[in-house]
Protein backbone atom coordinates (compact mmCIF):
# COMPACT_ATOMS: atom_id res chain seq x y z
CA UNK A 1 0.00 0.00 0.00
CA UNK A 2 1.56 3.25 -1.15
CA UNK A 3 0.62 6.25 0.97
CA UNK A 4 1.36 9.89 0.49
CA UNK A 5 2.88 11.32 3.66
CA UNK A 6 0.50 13.88 5.08
CA UNK A 7 1.91 13.91 8.59
CA UNK A 8 2.20 17.56 9.52
CA UNK A 9 4.65 18.25 12.33
CA UNK A 10 4.49 21.83 13.61
CA UNK A 11 7.38 22.60 15.90
CA UNK A 12 8.66 25.52 17.90
CA UNK A 13 12.45 25.84 17.94
CA UNK A 14 14.29 27.67 20.70
CA UNK A 15 17.49 29.27 19.49
CA UNK A 16 20.21 30.38 21.86
CA UNK A 17 23.49 32.09 21.05
CA UNK A 18 26.43 29.87 21.95
CA UNK A 19 29.24 31.80 20.25
CA UNK A 20 29.73 35.56 20.51
CA UNK A 21 28.94 37.71 17.51
CA UNK A 22 31.28 40.31 16.02
CA UNK A 23 30.37 43.72 17.42
CA UNK A 24 31.15 47.20 16.13
CA UNK A 25 32.47 49.48 18.90
CA UNK A 26 32.21 53.26 18.61
CA UNK A 27 33.70 55.47 21.30
CA UNK A 28 31.71 58.56 22.37
CA UNK A 29 33.69 61.51 23.69
CA UNK A 30 31.25 63.15 26.12
CA UNK A 31 31.69 64.67 29.56
CA UNK A 32 30.14 67.04 32.12
CA UNK A 33 31.03 70.71 31.70
CA UNK A 34 31.62 72.60 34.93
CA UNK A 35 30.07 71.77 38.29
CA UNK A 36 26.51 70.47 38.44
CA UNK A 37 24.13 73.01 39.95
CA UNK A 38 22.00 71.91 42.91
CA UNK A 39 18.74 73.75 43.54
CA UNK A 40 16.87 73.17 46.80
CA UNK A 41 13.18 74.01 46.64
CA UNK A 42 10.46 73.70 49.26
CA UNK A 43 9.31 70.25 48.17
CA UNK A 44 12.01 68.87 45.92
CA UNK A 45 15.65 68.91 44.96
CA UNK A 46 16.87 69.65 41.43
CA UNK A 47 20.18 68.91 39.75
CA UNK A 48 21.20 70.65 36.54
CA UNK A 49 24.13 69.35 34.49
CA UNK A 50 25.59 70.45 31.17
CA UNK A 51 27.43 68.03 28.86
CA UNK A 52 29.76 68.73 25.96
CA UNK A 53 27.62 66.70 23.59
CA UNK A 54 23.94 65.76 23.56
CA UNK A 55 23.31 63.59 26.57
CA UNK A 56 21.87 60.14 26.08
CA UNK A 57 21.89 58.33 29.35
CA UNK A 58 20.32 57.92 32.77
CA UNK A 59 20.38 59.82 36.05
CA UNK A 60 19.30 57.91 39.14
CA UNK A 61 19.78 57.62 42.89
CA UNK A 62 22.51 55.22 43.91
CA UNK A 63 21.05 51.76 44.53
CA UNK A 64 17.69 52.73 43.00
CA UNK A 65 18.38 52.26 39.28
CA UNK A 66 15.46 49.84 38.88
CA UNK A 67 12.99 52.17 40.60
CA UNK A 68 11.31 54.25 37.89
CA UNK A 69 10.39 56.97 40.37
CA UNK A 70 14.10 57.44 41.17
CA UNK A 71 15.43 57.20 37.60
CA UNK A 72 15.11 59.49 34.59
CA UNK A 73 16.25 58.72 31.06
CA UNK A 74 17.45 61.29 28.54
CA UNK A 75 18.05 61.29 24.79
CA UNK A 76 19.92 63.94 22.79
CA UNK A 77 19.66 66.65 25.46
CA UNK A 78 22.25 69.39 25.93
CA UNK A 79 20.99 70.64 29.30
CA UNK A 80 19.61 68.06 31.69
CA UNK A 81 17.64 68.69 34.86
CA UNK A 82 16.97 65.95 37.37
CA UNK A 83 14.41 66.49 40.14
CA UNK A 84 13.66 64.41 43.20
CA UNK A 85 11.00 64.93 45.91
CA UNK A 86 12.46 65.58 49.37
CA UNK A 87 12.59 62.53 51.58
CA UNK A 88 12.06 60.04 48.70
CA UNK A 89 14.32 57.36 47.20
CA UNK A 90 16.29 56.80 50.40
CA UNK A 91 17.14 60.49 50.90
CA UNK A 92 18.52 61.09 54.40
CA UNK A 93 17.29 63.98 56.56
CA UNK A 94 19.80 65.48 59.04
CA UNK A 95 19.12 68.40 61.40
CA UNK A 96 21.84 71.02 61.83
CA UNK A 97 22.30 73.34 64.83
CA UNK A 98 24.83 75.67 63.20
CA UNK A 99 23.64 76.84 60.85
CA UNK A 100 20.20 75.98 62.06
CA UNK A 101 18.15 73.96 59.59
CA UNK A 102 17.70 70.58 57.94
CA UNK A 103 20.16 68.98 55.55
CA UNK A 104 19.21 66.36 52.95
CA UNK A 105 21.79 63.86 51.75
CA UNK A 106 21.51 61.66 48.66
CA UNK A 107 23.98 60.26 46.11
CA UNK A 108 22.98 60.79 42.50
CA UNK A 109 24.71 58.94 39.66
CA UNK A 110 24.95 60.45 36.19
CA UNK A 111 25.50 57.60 33.75
CA UNK A 112 27.08 58.91 30.56
CA UNK A 113 27.66 56.19 27.96
CA UNK A 114 31.14 56.49 26.46
CA UNK A 115 30.98 53.39 24.28
CA UNK A 116 28.36 52.47 21.72
CA UNK A 117 28.01 48.79 20.86
CA UNK A 118 26.21 47.86 17.67
CA UNK A 119 25.50 44.31 16.60
CA UNK A 120 23.62 42.70 13.73
CA UNK A 121 22.52 39.10 14.06
CA UNK A 122 21.42 37.04 11.10
CA UNK A 123 18.00 35.48 11.47
CA UNK A 124 18.20 31.68 11.61
CA UNK A 125 16.80 29.60 8.77
CA UNK A 126 15.22 26.28 9.70
CA UNK A 127 14.00 23.43 7.51
CA UNK A 128 11.97 20.30 8.18
CA UNK A 129 12.15 17.20 5.98
CA UNK A 130 11.07 13.56 5.96
CA UNK A 131 13.73 11.06 4.84
CA UNK A 132 14.23 7.35 4.35
CA UNK A 133 17.16 5.00 5.00
CA UNK A 134 18.37 7.21 7.87
CA UNK A 135 18.50 10.87 8.90
CA UNK A 136 20.94 11.58 6.04
CA UNK A 137 18.96 9.65 3.45
CA UNK A 138 17.02 11.08 0.52
CA UNK A 139 13.84 13.03 1.13
CA UNK A 140 10.55 11.35 0.31
CA UNK A 141 6.89 12.15 -0.20
CA UNK A 142 5.47 8.62 -0.35
CA UNK A 143 6.03 5.64 1.96
CA UNK A 144 4.81 2.06 2.17
CA UNK A 145 3.13 0.53 5.18
CA UNK A 146 5.86 -0.85 7.42
CA UNK A 147 8.52 1.64 6.31
CA UNK A 148 10.50 3.61 8.89
CA UNK A 149 10.75 7.30 8.09
CA UNK A 150 13.02 9.87 9.68
CA UNK A 151 11.92 13.38 10.60
CA UNK A 152 14.81 15.85 10.38
CA UNK A 153 15.04 19.44 11.65
CA UNK A 154 18.08 21.55 10.79
CA UNK A 155 18.90 25.25 11.16
CA UNK A 156 21.64 27.63 10.10
CA UNK A 157 23.96 29.42 10.95
CA UNK A 158 26.15 27.15 13.04
CA UNK A 159 26.79 29.56 15.93
CA UNK A 160 23.49 28.80 17.65
CA UNK A 161 21.81 25.93 19.43
CA UNK A 162 18.38 24.47 18.74
CA UNK A 163 15.70 22.82 20.87
CA UNK A 164 12.70 21.24 19.16
CA UNK A 165 9.56 21.37 21.30
CA UNK A 166 5.76 21.64 21.20
CA UNK A 167 5.24 19.44 18.13
CA UNK A 168 1.85 18.28 16.91
CA UNK A 169 0.43 16.03 14.21
CA UNK A 170 -2.78 16.86 12.40
CA UNK A 171 -5.07 13.98 11.51
CA UNK A 172 -7.59 13.74 8.71
CA UNK A 173 -10.25 15.41 10.86
CA UNK A 174 -8.13 18.50 11.47
CA UNK A 175 -7.41 17.67 15.13
CA UNK A 176 -3.95 18.19 16.66
CA UNK A 177 -2.21 15.51 18.71
CA UNK A 178 0.94 16.34 20.70
CA UNK A 179 3.99 14.19 19.88
CA UNK A 180 6.71 16.37 21.51
CA UNK A 181 6.01 18.25 24.74
CA UNK A 182 7.18 21.68 25.92
CA UNK A 183 10.45 20.21 27.25
CA UNK A 184 11.31 18.58 23.92
CA UNK A 185 10.45 15.01 24.99
CA UNK A 186 8.42 12.57 22.90
CA UNK A 187 4.94 11.96 24.31
CA UNK A 188 4.30 8.62 22.57
CA UNK A 189 7.25 6.51 21.34
CA UNK A 190 4.89 4.54 19.08
CA UNK A 191 4.17 7.70 17.08
CA UNK A 192 7.59 9.39 17.28
CA UNK A 193 10.85 8.33 18.90
CA UNK A 194 12.93 10.53 21.17
CA UNK A 195 14.82 13.26 19.34
CA UNK A 196 18.57 12.95 18.79
CA UNK A 197 20.83 15.99 18.32
CA UNK A 198 24.22 16.20 16.67
CA UNK A 199 27.25 17.86 18.23
CA UNK A 200 26.47 21.28 16.75
CA UNK A 201 22.97 21.32 18.31
CA UNK A 202 21.66 22.61 14.99
CA UNK A 203 20.33 19.32 13.62
CA UNK A 204 17.89 16.89 15.21
CA UNK A 205 16.05 13.80 14.01
CA UNK A 206 13.47 11.29 15.16
CA UNK A 207 11.97 8.19 13.55
CA UNK A 208 8.48 6.78 13.16
CA UNK A 209 7.09 3.65 11.51
CA UNK A 210 4.14 3.77 9.13
CA UNK A 211 1.53 1.11 9.88
CA UNK A 212 -2.19 0.62 9.31
CA UNK A 213 -3.04 1.97 12.76
CA UNK A 214 -1.36 5.30 12.05
CA UNK A 215 -2.40 5.51 8.40
CA UNK A 216 -5.34 7.66 9.44
CA UNK A 217 -2.73 10.37 10.00
CA UNK A 218 -1.79 10.12 6.31
CA UNK A 219 -3.50 11.48 3.23
CA UNK A 220 -3.79 9.60 -0.07
CA UNK A 221 -2.36 11.06 -3.25
CA UNK A 222 -4.57 13.82 -4.72
CA UNK A 223 -6.64 12.96 -7.76
CA UNK A 224 -5.36 13.70 -11.26
CA UNK A 225 -7.77 16.62 -11.54
CA UNK A 226 -5.95 18.45 -8.75
CA UNK A 227 -8.60 17.80 -6.10
CA UNK A 228 -7.65 16.41 -2.72
CA UNK A 229 -8.67 12.81 -2.25
CA UNK A 230 -11.02 11.91 0.63
CA UNK A 231 -9.72 10.38 3.85
CA UNK A 232 -8.63 6.75 3.32
CA UNK A 233 -10.79 3.88 4.50
CA UNK A 234 -8.72 1.91 7.03
CA UNK A 235 -9.44 -1.82 7.24
CA UNK A 236 -8.96 -3.39 10.71
CA UNK A 237 -6.13 -5.91 10.91
CA UNK A 238 -8.51 -8.71 11.95
CA UNK A 239 -10.34 -8.41 8.63
CA UNK A 240 -7.24 -8.57 6.44
CA UNK A 241 -7.22 -12.44 6.08
CA UNK A 242 -10.87 -12.49 4.96
CA UNK A 243 -10.69 -9.36 2.83
CA UNK A 244 -10.67 -11.32 -0.51
CA UNK A 245 -13.81 -13.23 0.56
CA UNK A 246 -15.52 -9.97 1.45
CA UNK A 247 -14.66 -8.50 -1.94
CA UNK A 248 -16.00 -11.61 -3.72
CA UNK A 249 -19.20 -11.44 -1.67
CA UNK A 250 -19.65 -7.76 -2.48
CA UNK A 251 -19.15 -8.48 -6.19
CA UNK A 252 -21.65 -11.35 -6.02
CA UNK A 253 -24.23 -9.17 -4.32
CA UNK A 254 -23.71 -6.52 -6.96
CA UNK A 255 -24.27 -9.06 -9.76
CA UNK A 256 -27.39 -10.43 -8.09
CA UNK A 257 -28.76 -6.94 -7.53
CA UNK A 258 -28.13 -6.08 -11.17
CA UNK A 259 -29.90 -9.27 -12.30
CA UNK A 260 -32.92 -8.48 -10.13
CA UNK A 261 -33.15 -5.00 -11.57
CA UNK A 262 -33.04 -6.38 -15.13
CA UNK A 263 -35.74 -8.94 -14.32
CA UNK A 264 -37.97 -6.29 -12.79
CA UNK A 265 -37.54 -4.08 -15.81
CA UNK A 266 -38.37 -6.97 -18.17
CA UNK A 267 -41.40 -7.92 -16.08
CA UNK A 268 -42.61 -4.32 -16.18
CA UNK A 269 -42.26 -4.29 -19.96
CA UNK A 270 -44.34 -7.51 -20.20
CA UNK A 271 -47.08 -5.95 -18.06
CA UNK A 272 -47.06 -2.84 -20.22
CA UNK A 273 -47.45 -4.99 -23.35
CA UNK A 274 -50.38 -6.93 -21.82
CA UNK A 275 -52.13 -3.75 -20.73
CA UNK A 276 -51.68 -2.23 -24.17
CA UNK A 277 -53.08 -5.36 -25.92
CA UNK A 278 -56.28 -5.17 -23.87
CA UNK A 279 -57.25 -1.93 -25.53
CA UNK A 280 -57.24 -3.51 -29.02
What is the arithmetic mean of pLDDT over 255-268?
A: 49
Q: What's the pTM value of the predicted model, to 2 decimals?
A: 0.43
Q: Are 200 and 154 in contact (CB under 8 A)?
A: no
Kindly report, residue by residue over 176-234, the tens digit of the pLDDT.
778 888 888 888 887 888 889 988 888 999 988 765 445 444 432 323 333 333 323 33
Mean pLDDT, the chain, whole residue set: 69
Strands, E assignment, the chain: 2-4, 10-17, 24-27, 37-40, 44-61, 71-85, 92-97, 100-105, 108-111, 115-118, 125-132, 142-144, 148-156, 160-170, 176-180, 196-197, 203-209
Burial class (CB in 10 A: 0-12, 13-18, 19+), 192: buried
Percent of the chain beyond pLDDT 70?
60
Helix (H, G, I), strand (E, B) or coil at 263: helix
Q: What are the backbone dihedrals phi and psi of residue 167, each rounded to the nearest 5 degrees, phi first?
A: -105, 145
174 pLDDT higher than 80: no
Beta bridge partners of 205: 152, 196
Amino acid sequence: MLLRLGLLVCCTTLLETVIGQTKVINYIDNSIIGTPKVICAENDLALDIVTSKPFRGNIFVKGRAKDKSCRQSYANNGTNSYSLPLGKCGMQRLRSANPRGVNFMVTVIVMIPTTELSDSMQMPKCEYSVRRDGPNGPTLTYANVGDTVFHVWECTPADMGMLVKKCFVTDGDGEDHAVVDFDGCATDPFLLSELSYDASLMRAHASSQIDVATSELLVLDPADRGLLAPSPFCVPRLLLPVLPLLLITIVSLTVVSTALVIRRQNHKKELDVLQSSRYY
